[in-house]
Amino acid sequence: MRLCRFSLDEIILTGFYADDCVIPIDQAAEAYSDDKGVELLLPSTDDLLDLLPPAGAYFHVIRDLASWVDELDPVGLSELAIPLEDVELLVPIGAPSKILLLAGNYAKHIVERGGQSVERDETFPYVFMKPPTTTLTNPGDPVVIPRVSPDHIDWECELGVIVGRRCRDVDEADALDYVAGYTVVNDISDRKFRPNPNRKDRERDRFFDWQHGKWHDTFCPVGPCILTSDAVEDPQALTIQLSVNDVIKQDSSTDQMIFPVAAIVSFLSRFMTLEPGDIIATGTPSGVGSATNTYLRPGDTLRATISGIGTLENPVEAEDS
Domain ranges of the chain: 2-90, 99-318
pLDDT at 108 over 90: no
Per-residue pLDDT averaged across 281-298, rounded?
97
Residue 77 CB-half CA count within 13 A:
16
pLDDT at 118 exceeding the cut of 80? no
pTM: 0.96
Question: Which tens digits make up the pLDDT trace of 145-181?
Answer: 999 999 999 999 999 999 999 999 999 999 999 999 9
Query: φ, ψ for residue 239 (rounded to 5)?
Result: -80, 150
**Residue 119 pLDDT level (bands cut at 50, 70, 90):** confident
Distances (CA, A) of 257 to 120, 156, 170, 235: 10, 14, 20, 11
Asked if 147 contacts 321 with a C-beta cutoff of 8 angstroms, the reply is: yes
Would you identify the CATH topology of the domain 99-318? Fumarylacetoacetate hydrolase; domain 2 (3.90.850)
- Tell me the pLDDT tens digit for each residue of 204-244: 999 999 999 999 999 999 999 999 999 999 999 999 999 99
Of 28-32, 44-48, 50-54, 63-67, the range with the lowest mean pLDDT is 44-48
Nearest to 282 by CA among 320, 255, 309, 247: 255
Q: What is the pLDDT of residue 309?
A: 98
* Residue 114 predicted with pLDDT over 80: no
Cα gap 213→316, rounded to integer Å: 17
Half-sphere exposure of 166 (CA within 13 A, CB side): 1
pLDDT recorded at residue 116: 62
* Cβ(8)–Cβ(229) below 8 Å: no
Q: Is 105's pLDDT higher than 90?
A: yes
Spatial separation of the C-alpha atoms in residues 160 and 139, rounded to whole Å: 14
Instruction: Please choose, from the candidates 274, 61, 64, the residue with its C-alpha nearest in 3D space to the C-alpha of residue 176.
Output: 274
Nearest to 188 by CA among 293, 112, 109, 284: 284
